[in-house]
C-alpha cells in the first residue's frame, strides 16, 4: 500500500523522528518501574498507534530496526502480537519461538543467548519460565529488553494492555471495582495488573480457591500501597458490584503436585447464567488462553471483551517498541 502524504497523518501525533523520550533504551522488566503518568503516556501513544493502524495499516516509524523475539515458554498472543507490532511499525523480527531448535538445547546459558541476539537486533523480547529471568538477562545487555513473562513473576506488557482495555472499554479506570478470578497465586498477569492498579482509585476483589490465593509477598505490597482489596472464595459475593471481571487460567505448568492442580482446575466456570447476575455494562476479560474457565456460549455477549483485549495488546506493544527505540 502506498504511504499517505504527510498531510493526511494526524497533526497531533507525538511520534518524533528524533531518538529520545522517557523510555529510550530502557528495559521493561516490571510494572513497578512505571508511574501513573508513564502509564497514561503509554496509553496516549497506544491510541495514536490504533489511529495509524486503522488509517494506514503499516508505517515506517521503526524501519531498519530489528526485534529478537525469544520465547522459552509457549505463546500465541504475546509472540505474534510483538511480531505484528514490529512489522506494522516497518521493522523486522528474528523469531525464536522454540528454543529447543536453538543453541539453548546445546546448553547455552541465558546471558550468552541474549548477548548473541543483541548483536543482531535493536530490542529483545524475552519470555522465560523462571521468575526473575528478565532482570537477570537485562544485566548483560546494552540494548533494551522487554519482559514478556517470567515464570510466576510478572508480565508487564500484558498488564498494560489489560489496563488499556479497561480504559478503552469503560472510558475510565478510577472509581471501578475490579474482580480477579482464578489462579491468583501463579498468574503473573494478575501480579502485574494488581501492581498497576495501585496507581488508580479502584477497589479490587480477589476470588480464588484457598490454594490459589494472592501470594503473601504481593499481599504485603498491596497493603503497604493502600490498595483497597478483599479476598473471597465465592464469586457471588462480589459479582454484582464488579465493573470488570478478569478471569484467569489455572497455571498447570507451575504446579509441582498434579493432584493439587486437579483439585482446583475446575473451580470456576463463567457461563451465560453467571452473567445474568452481573452488571449490564460489566467488562469480562481474560488474558487467554482459556481452558474452560469461560464457556464459549459467553463469547457472543457484548460484555465479553477478551477478543478485543488481544487487539488492544498490539497497540500497546507498538507504543512500547516505539518508546524504547526512542521514536515516541
Ligand atoms: C498469559 C501468560 O502467559 O502469562 N498469557 C498471555 O500472555 N496472554 C496467561 C496464561 O498463560 O494463562
Total domains in the fold of the chain = 2
Distance CA 91, CA 94 (A): 11
Residue nearest to atom 12 of ligand 1 (CA): 249
Half-sphere exposure of 3 (CA within 13 A, CB side): 9
pLDDT digits (tens, 9 = 90+) for 79-121: 999 999 999 999 999 999 878 778 888 889 999 999 999 999 9
- The rounded Å distance from CA 149 to ligand 1 centre is 8
Pairing of strands 123-128, 66-71: parallel
Q: Which residue has the higher pLDDT, 2 or 147?
A: 147
Partner residues linked to 128 by β-bridges:
150
Section 186-191 average pLDDT: 98
- The rounded Å distance from CA 192 to ligand 1 centre is 12
Same domain, 96 and 175: no
Q: Which three cell numbers stand for residue 235?
A: 464469586
In a domain, 208, yes or no: yes
- The rounded Å distance from CA 137 to ligand 1 centre is 20
Same domain, 120 and 35: yes
Distance CA 82, CA 78 (A): 6
In a domain, 255, yes or no: yes
Q: Which three cell numbers stand for residue 69?
A: 523475539
**Is the CB of 303 inside a 6 Å radius of any atom of ligand 1?**
no
Same domain, 56 and 196: no
pLDDT confidence bin for 19, thresholds 50/70/90: low
Question: Which atom number of ligand 1 is nearest to the Cα of residue 313?
Answer: 8
- The rounded Å distance from CA 219 to ligand 1 centre is 21
- Look at residue 107 in the predicted model and tell me its pLDDT: 87
Of 78, 186, 189, 317, the residue with max ligand 1 atoms within 8 A of its CB, to mutate for a pocket test, comes to 189
Please choose, from the candidates 76, 18, 27, the residue with its C-alpha nearest in 3D space to the C-alpha of residue 320: 27
Same domain, 167 and 272: yes
Of 251, 287, 293, the residue with max ligand 1 atoms within 8 A of its CB, to mutate for a pocket test, comes to 287
- Look at residue 28 in the predicted model and tell me its pLDDT: 98
**Is the CB of 30 inside a 6 Å radius of any atom of ligand 1?**
no
- The rounded Å distance from CA 148 to ligand 1 centre is 9
Distance CA 17, CA 61 (A): 8
Distance CA 88, CA 92 (A): 9
Same domain, 252 and 303: yes
In a domain, 172, yes or no: yes
pLDDT digits (tens, 9 = 90+) for 151-174: 999 999 999 999 999 999 999 999
- The rounded Å distance from CA 189 to ligand 1 centre is 7
pLDDT digits (tens, 9 = 90+) for 224-254: 999 999 999 999 999 999 999 999 999 999 9
CATH no. for residue 256? Answer: 3.40.50.1370
Same domain, 222 and 126: no
- Look at residue 18 in the predicted model and tell me its pLDDT: 54
SS (H, E, C) the chain: CCCCCHHHCCCCCCCCCCCECCCCCCCECCHHHCCHHHHHHHHHHHHHHHHHHHHHCCCCCCCCCEEEEEECCCCCHHHHHHHHHHHHCCCEEEEECCHHHCHHHHCCCHHHHHHHHHHHCCEEEEEECCCCHHHHHHCCCCCCEEEEEECCCCCHHHHHHHHHHHHHHHCCCCCCEEEEECCCCCCHHHHHHHHHHCCCCCEEEEECCHHHCCCHHHHHHHHHCCCCEEEECCHHHCHHHCCEEEECCCCHHHCCCHHHHHHHCCCCCECHHHHCCCCCCCEEECCCCCCCCECHHHCCCCCECHHHHHHHHHHHHHHHHHHHCCEC
Residue ranges making up the domain that contains 43: 18-155+313-324
Distance CA 295, CA 224 (A): 37
Question: Which atom number of ligand 1 is nearest to the Cα of residue 287?
Answer: 8
Distance CA 255, CA 38 (A): 35
pLDDT digits (tens, 9 = 90+) for 258-307: 999 999 999 999 999 999 999 999 999 999 999 999 999 999 999 999 99
**Is the CB of 309 inside a 6 Å radius of any atom of ligand 1?**
no
- pLDDT at 2 exceeding the cut of 70: no
In a domain, 259, yes or no: yes
In a domain, 280, yes or no: yes
Same domain, 136 and 224: no
Same domain, 145 and 24: yes
- Percentage of the chain with pLDDT > 70? 94
Same domain, 307 and 210: yes
Pairing of strands 123-128, 145-150: parallel
- Percentage of the chain with pLDDT > 90? 90
Question: Which atom number of ligand 1 is nearest to the Cα of residue 155?
Answer: 4
In a domain, 147, yes or no: yes
Question: Which atom number of ligand 1 is nearest to the Cα of residue 77?
Answer: 8
Same domain, 43 and 150: yes
Q: In this structure, is the dihedral angle defined by the CA atoms of residues 218, 219, 220 and 223, taken in order, positive or negative? A: positive
**Is the CB of 265 inside a 6 Å radius of any atom of ligand 1?**
no
In a domain, 80, yes or no: yes
Residue nearest to atom 6 of ligand 1 (CA): 287
**Is the CB of 155 inside a 6 Å radius of any atom of ligand 1?**
yes
Question: Which atom number of ligand 1 is nearest to the Cα of residue 78?
Answer: 7
pLDDT digits (tens, 9 = 90+) for 28-56: 999 999 999 999 999 999 999 999 999 99
Same domain, 176 and 270: yes
In a domain, 9, yes or no: no
Same domain, 163 and 96: no
Amino acid at each position: 500500500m502506498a504511504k499517505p502524504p504527510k498531510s493526511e497523518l494526524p497533526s497531533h501525533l507525538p511520534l518524533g523522528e528524533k531518538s529520545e523520550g522517557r523510555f529510550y533504551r530502557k528495559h521493561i522488566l516490571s510494572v513497578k518501574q512505571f508511574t501513573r503518568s508513564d502509564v497514561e503516556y503509554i496509553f496516549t501513544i497506544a491510541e495514536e498507534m490504533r489511529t495509524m493502524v486503522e488509517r494506514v495499516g503499516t508505517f515506517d516509524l521503526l524501519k531498519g530496526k530489528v526485534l529478537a523475539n525469544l520465547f522459552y515458554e509457549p505463546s500465541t498472543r504475546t509472540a505474534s502480537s510483538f511480531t505484528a507490532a514490529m512489522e506494522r511499525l516497518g521493522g523486522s523480527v528474528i523469531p525464536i519461538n522454540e528454543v529447543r531448535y536453538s543453541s539453548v538445547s546445546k546448553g547455552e546459558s541465558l546471558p550468552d543467548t541474549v548477548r548473541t541476539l543483541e548483536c543482531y537486533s535493536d530490542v529483545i523480547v524475552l519470555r522465560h519460565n523462571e521468575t526473575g529471568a528478565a532482570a537477570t538477562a537485562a544485566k548483560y545487555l546494552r540494548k533494551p529488553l522487554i519482559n514478556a513473562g517470567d515464570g510466576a513473576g510478572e508480565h508487564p506488557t500484558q498488564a498494560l494492555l489489560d489496563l488499556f482495555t479497561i480504559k478503552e472499554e469503560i472510558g475510565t479506570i478510577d472509581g471501578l471495582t475490579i474482580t480477579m478470578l482464578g489462579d491468583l497465586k501463579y498468574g503473573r498477569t494478575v501480579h502485574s495488573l494488581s501492581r498497576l492498579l495501585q496507581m488508580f482509585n479502584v477497589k479490587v476483589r480477589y476470588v480464588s480457591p484457598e490454594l490459589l490465593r494472592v501470594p503473601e509477598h504481593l499481599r504485603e505490597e498491596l497493603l503497604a500501597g493502600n490498595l483497597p482489596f478483599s479476598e473471597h472464595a465465592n464469586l457471588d459475593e462480589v459479582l454484582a458490584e464488579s465493573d470488570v471481571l478478569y478471569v484467569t487460567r489455572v497455571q498447570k505448568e507451575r504446579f509441582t503436585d498434579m493432584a493439587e492442580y486437579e483439585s482446583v482446575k475446575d473451580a470456576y466456570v463463567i457461563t451465560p447464567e453467571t452473567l445474568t447476575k452481573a452488571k449490564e455494562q460489566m467488562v469480562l476479560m481474560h488474558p487467554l488462553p482459556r481452558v474452560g474457565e469461560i464457556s464459549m456460549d459467553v463469547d457472543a455477549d457484548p460484555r465479553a471483551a477478551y477478543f478485543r483485549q488481544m487487539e488492544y495488546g498490539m497497540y500497546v506493544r507498538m507504543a512500547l517498541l516505539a518508546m524504547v527505540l526512542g521514536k515516541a
